[in-house]
Chains A and B, each alone.
Chain A
Amino acid sequence: MIGEIIESRTAEFVAESVRYDQVPAYGSFVRVSDGGLRVYGIVSGAYTGSLDGMSKAKAFFKSIQELKMEQPQIFELLRTEFSCVVVGYAQDGRYHPYYPPIHLSLHLPVEKADDDEVLAISQHLGFLEKTLNSPAGNGEELTAAAIRTAARFHPDPREYIVRVGRELLKMLNYDTQRLKSILERVDIS
C-alpha cells in the first residue's frame, strides 16, 4: 500500500501517502481494488503540506540532516497527498479502458500497479485521452510522463512510442506542433 483514498470523483481521486516522503512517481500507474473491480489510475500530481492543512510550514534554513537531528517533530506534522486520473478498470480478468461504473469509495488502499498490469493497460492507448485532458490542466506534461513510464515496460520502447505518437497526433487534430512538444519530453535512451 502506498496511500489511502481521501477524495474521490469519477475521473480522478486523491490519496494520502502512507508516509509524507514516500510518494509514487509522477506519471506512474497505480491500482485500487474496490470489491470486484480493480481501478487503475495515473499519478497526476502530488502535494506536501502541514497536517492540519491550515498552517504553513516554516523555513529553518538548515539541511535536512540537521533538521532531522534538531527538530524531528516537525516532520511528524507533514502530510503528502497525490492525485490520480482514472484511466480504466479491470473486472473478471478483463480490462476496460474507460471509467468504472461507480466512482471509488474513500479510504481504500492505493497500490502500485504491477509491471504486467502496466504493460496490459498501456496497450490500450485510451489512457492518452485521459491524461491529455487531465483536470489539473497539465495534460501534455502528464501524457509525456505516462508515455515515459509505460514505454519502459515494452520490449521495444521506441516502436511503442511511435505507435503512441501516431495515436496522439490524431487526438491532437494533427497538430504536429503539440505532438512535437510532447514527444520532446519523452526521451528514451
Chain B
Amino acid sequence: MKGTILRGSLSGGLEVRLDIGENIEEVKVGTFCVVEGRSQDFFSMVVDEDIEAANPKAFYETLSDNPLLNEVVRGTGIIDKVKIQPMIAIRREDGKVQPVKSIPSYLSRVREAREEDVFKIFGRPDRTHFHVGAPLDMDHIPVCVDLEKFIERSNGIFGKSGTGKTFYTRIMLCGMIKSGLCNVLVFDMHSEYGWEGEDEDKTRKKAKGLKQLFGSRVAIFTLDPESSRNRGVHPDFVVEIPYRSIEAEDIVMVREELNLNPTALEVIYVLQKHLGQDWLITFLNMDALAIEEFAENTGSHAGALQALQRKLFRLQKLPFIKENPADDAVERIMQYLDSGMNVVLEFGHQRSMLAYMLVANILTRRIHELYVKRSEKALGGMQGNNTPLVIVIEEAHKFLSPELSHQTIFGMIAREMRKYNVTLLVVDQRPSGIDPEVLSQLGTKIVALLTEEKDIESVLCGVNNARMLRNVLASLDTKQQAIIMGHAVPMPVVIKTRTYDETFYKEITRDEDGAFRRPMPGLKRTSGTGSIASNPDGEEPPPGKEFEDLMKELYGL
C-alpha cells in the first residue's frame, strides 16, 4: 500500500489517497501502515476504505467502453481512498514512541508497515517481549507483548466459547513461565493446562501442557488423583483441604451453588463466632439434639440451622475436603512458588463450580495473606525473593460478579493486589458478568470474537477509540484472531495468534539465555515428602511422582 495523506483530523482519522496503480483490493481493514510525516512517523491502522470522485459526474461518464479513458480517470478523477487511524507517533530523531497528539502534514507519504516499524512499537522478541502473534496479513512479523508490564496488573482473556481462549491462555502462560519474570498459579478447572489438552484441530496431536514443555519448572497439583492417573499424568502433589480452613466467606461465595438464602448466611457467621475455627466440622457432626441446644444457647433458629446443615452436607461429598489432611496444601504450593516453580492445580472430576470456587477461594485467600506478608518483609529488606505471582482463574464472572466482587478475595486482588505482587489472569466468556469496577482495573485484555453487545461494551469500557475497535472486534475470525489492548501493548492490535504446535513448542523450550538451567532465585531445598526436586545442576528429571508412590506417601496405602 502506497499513498499520500489527502485530508483528515485528529479525532476523525486520516484519509489516504492511494497511488495510481495501487490495488485497493489488497488493502485490508485492520492492517498497519506508516505515515512518514516531516518529523514523526505515525503508526496507523486501516479502518475504512472508499471510492471518491473529484467531480461526481466522473462516476457516470467513464462507464463507457473506452478502456483508455477509464485508465486515465482511475486514480485521477476517481480515486481509491483508505481511511486510517494514527495510533502511535514515533519521533524520528530519537525513535521515541509517544501517543498521537498531532496529525501528519498534507501529502505525507504513506506506506505499509515493515518489520522494523512493528518492532519499534511492540519491541523485538526477547526475554521480556513475548511474541504472541502477527498483525493481520503480515504473518512473518512478530507482535510482542511486554511481559514486564503484563504482569504488573491484572489481565483478562475474553472470547466466546470456542474462540480459543484456552489456547491464548496457554500461550500467555508459556510466555510468562519462559520469561521467569513471575510465577503462575493456575486453577485448572478442566485439567487442560498441566499435562495436555485437547486440540480442536483433530489433525494435530493433543496440545502439550505446561509440564510437558517446562518440565521441572512446573508442578502439577491435583484434587482428584484418580482422574490424573487415568489421564496418564503424574501429579506432584495431591491437594486436600482441611475443614478448618473453610471460612464463612468461602461459603458465602458458593451460596448459589449450595442454594443458600440470606438467613442461612447470617447463621453461618453465628456458627463461626461460637464454634471457632472448627465450626464447619463441628456443625456437620451435630445431631438434632445438639442443634437444638446450640440454637437455644445462641438464640438462633433451630429450623434454619437444620436446613443449613442439610445443605452443607454437600461439602462432605467433596472428597478432597478432609478432617485431618496429611499435608498443608497451601504451605506446599507456597514452597513450590517460593522456589520459583509454577503450579497448575488440576480439578480432575471435581469440576463442579462448587469445588472450583471453594478451592480457588480458600487457596487464594491464604496465598494472598502470605504474599502480603512477604511484600511487607520485602519492603523491610527481610525477604529477598519477591517474585510476582499471577493467578489464573476460569469462569471468572462467577468470582467477580458485581454482587460478589466486593466480598471475595479475587475482587480484592483485581483491585489492589498488584501492590503486593499478586495479579490475576481472568479467563471468561461473559465479560459482562464481571463487575465493571474490576473490568476497568484490568491492565491488558486479550479479546477474541465477542458477538453479544453487552459483552463488547463491557470489554471496551475505558478504552480509547472504542467506537473504532467495536467494528474490529465484531469482525474477528472465530479462530486464531484476537485483539490485544491495554497496558502491555502501546496500542490496541489485532493479531493472528501463534499456532500452538511443534514449532511453538520448539521455540518456547529453546534455552537461549540459560534460564532453564539457572537456579531459581530463592531456591531452597525442603525436606520431607513434598521435597522439591529442583537441582542447581538442573540435570534431574522432572519432579513428577509415580502415582503409587504418591498414594503411599499420602495415605500409607
Q: Which residues of A contact B58 (CB under 8 A)?
A: 174, 176
| B35-73 contacts to A (CB < 8 Å) | 53-55, 57-58, 61-62, 64, 66, 68-69, 71-73
On chain A, the residues within 8 Å of B75 by CB distance are 166
Contact across chains for B76 and A180 when beta carbons are under 8 A apart: no
Number of residues of chain A lying within 8 A (CB) of chain B: 17
Q: Which residue of chain A is the closest to B54 with respect to CB atoms? A: A174
Q: How far is the CB of A56 from chain B (nearest CB, A)?
A: 43
Whether, in the assembled complex, B242 has its beta carbon less than 8 Å from a beta carbon of chain A, the answer is no
CB pair A169 B71 closer than 8 Å:
no
- Considering only residues 159-175 of chain A, those with a C-beta below 8 Å from chain B are 161-162, 165-166, 168-170, 173-175
Docked complex: A113-162 residues within 8 A CB-CB of B: 158, 161-162
Closest B residue to A174 using CB positions: B55
Kindly report which residue of chain B lies nearest to residue A161, judged by CB atoms: B68
A180: which B residues are within 8 A, CB to CB? 61-62, 64, 66, 69
Whether A183 contacts B68 in the complex (CB less than 8 A), given A169-B76, A169-B77, comes out as yes
Does B54 lie within 8 Å of A165, measured CB to CB? no
With a cutoff of 8 Å between Cβ atoms, the chain B residues found around residue A177 in the complex are 57, 61
In Å, the complex CA distance between A175 and B76 comes to 11
B49 to chain A, nearest CB (A): 21
Residue A87 at the B interface, CB < 8 A?
Answer: no
Given the known A-B contacts A169-B77, A174-B54, A174-B77, are A179 and B66 also in contact in the complex, defined by CB atoms under 8 Å?
no
Contact, CB under 8 Å: A166 / B68: no
Residues A169 and B72 in contact in the complex (CB < 8 Å), given A175-B55, A176-B55, A184-B66: yes
| Closest Cβ neighbor of B58 among chain A residues | A176
Is A176 in contact with B68, judged by CB distance below 8 angstroms?
Answer: no
> Do B57 and A162 have beta carbons less than 8 Å apart?
no
* B379 CB, min distance to chain A CBs, angstroms: 70
Is there an interface contact between A179 and B72, defined as CB atoms closer than 8 Å?
yes
Cβ of A176 to closest chain B Cβ, rounded Å: 4
Complex Cα gap A183–B69 (Å): 7
Q: Which residues in A have their C-beta under 8 angstroms from that of B76? A: 165-166, 169-170, 174
Cα separation A151 to B69 with both chains bound (whole Å): 16
List 11 contacting pairs A-B, 8 Å CB cutoff, sorted by A. A161-B72, A162-B71, A165-B71, A170-B76, A173-B55, A175-B57, A176-B61, A180-B61, A180-B66, A183-B68, A183-B69
Given A166-B76, A168-B72, 5 additional A-B pairs, CB 8 A? A162-B72, A174-B58, A174-B77, A176-B62, A184-B66
Closest 10 pairs (CB-CB, A-B): A165-B72, A174-B55, A174-B54, A166-B76, A176-B61, A176-B58, A174-B77, A169-B76, A169-B77, A162-B71
